[in-house]
Amino acid sequence: MDLFLFGTLLHMPLLEVVSGDADVRAKVHLGVRTGFRVSRVAGQVFPMMHADPDGVAEGIIVQGLSDEALARLDYYEKAFGYDRVEFVVLDEHQTPRNVTCYVGEEGRWTPAEPWDREGWIAALGEVTTMTAREAMGLYGEVPAQVMGSRYPQMMARAASRQRAAREAGGRGMGRSDVQLIEARKAYSGFFTVEELDVAFRRFDGTMSDPVNRVVFVGVDCSIVLPYDPVRDRVLVVEQFRPGAYLRGDPNPWTVEPIAGRIDPGETPEEAARREAAEEAGVDLKDLHCVSAAYPSPGTTTEHFFVYVGLCDLPDGTAGQGGLPSEAEDIRSHVMEWADFDADLNAGRFNLLPLLVAGHWLARNRDRLRGASA
């Protein structure tokens, strides 16, 4: 039976990756389902099809898919709670056609405004296709539900790669001076670890012998130190960190700036503002970029966008924060500048992003205070 698609899989590059069928575009025809409409799901970026007596749900009819292509599509859609159901649509010649279509559980979502397919493609089409390449690499290895639970982190990794590709290249050698011999996933879960065999150009112009490297594949993060230039106060947060625990630190609760991953479709500045609200209930005003840099590119892909964010920090600002859904247990502290500066210079902080933001603030504090007077 033919397949009717109405949502994100109308983006042909994504459909090719998920189906594994390089010729799928030749199997596509226009189709509509009358009495239904396609709308964005409230609170989400993807669409749903719902009943509307005056509506017409536009989509495509895909003919002649192989069993393998259909199984791949089933795997991808089941990861997000979609199952195939049968109904009738009209093809481009207004002829009724029996089809199957991926539809979510009845009553699970609420429709918002009509879905803007072209807007979604412009904003998220590329990163979703990049994510699908990693997601479909799990086909045949882990159940669809497990893949779905890992999908948000996979999408954050894809967004990081997309962001890096759009950055201006530096001087000297570039990616063309690296020969990738083989890449293997040494571990795949919430995070991934990749093992690479590569050769790279030496400074004398010759290529190196093949070398083996193992890299933790993280995501881009926004980090912000809130500062109140009127009251001359900073806010820091404290939380348990397993890395410090595994190192053997007697106190694996670290004092930090506010930090969090940059979600797909989000700018680093937007992420900084969102995380400040989530972790500490702070509404940031102006953001001042301190740096955008790698913490340790020899072992991880993580990339940090560090800011000082101007805000109000009145008495009573400190408290508990974080999202229970992410198992966050975060305590915030408001520090007078004199106390923060004393701890900074005494080496009492042990997190590099806090040191970077703190020393930048020390150099620029008078200017910020003067501008806020």
The pLDDT score that the predictor gives to residue 105 is 85
220-372 maps to CATH 3.90.79.10: yes
Q: How far apart are CA 15 and CA 331, in angstroms?
A: 44
Q: In terms of C-beta distances under 8 Å and separation of at least 24 residues, what long-range contacts does 174-180 make, across chains too?
A: 177/201, 179/207
Q: Is 326 a catalytic residue?
A: yes
Intrachain domains 2-147 and 220-372 with the same fold: no
CA-wise closest residue to 98 among 49, 69, 63, 55: 63
pTM of the full structure: 0.86
The pLDDT score that the predictor gives to residue 324 is 63
pLDDT digits (tens, 9 = 90+) for 101-140: 999 888 889 999 999 999 999 999 999 999 999 999 999 9
CATH topology of domain 2-147: Hypothetical upf0131 protein ytfp (3.10.490)
The pLDDT score that the predictor gives to residue 373 is 75
The pLDDT score that the predictor gives to residue 1 is 79
Q: Of residues 105, 106, 167, 326, which has the active-site annotation? A: 326
Domain limits, the chain: 2-147, 181-218, 220-372
**Other beta carbons less than 10 A from residue 68's beta carbon:** 12
The pLDDT score that the predictor gives to residue 184 is 92
pLDDT-flagged residues of the chain (< 50): none
How far does CA 153 lie from the centroid of its chain? 6
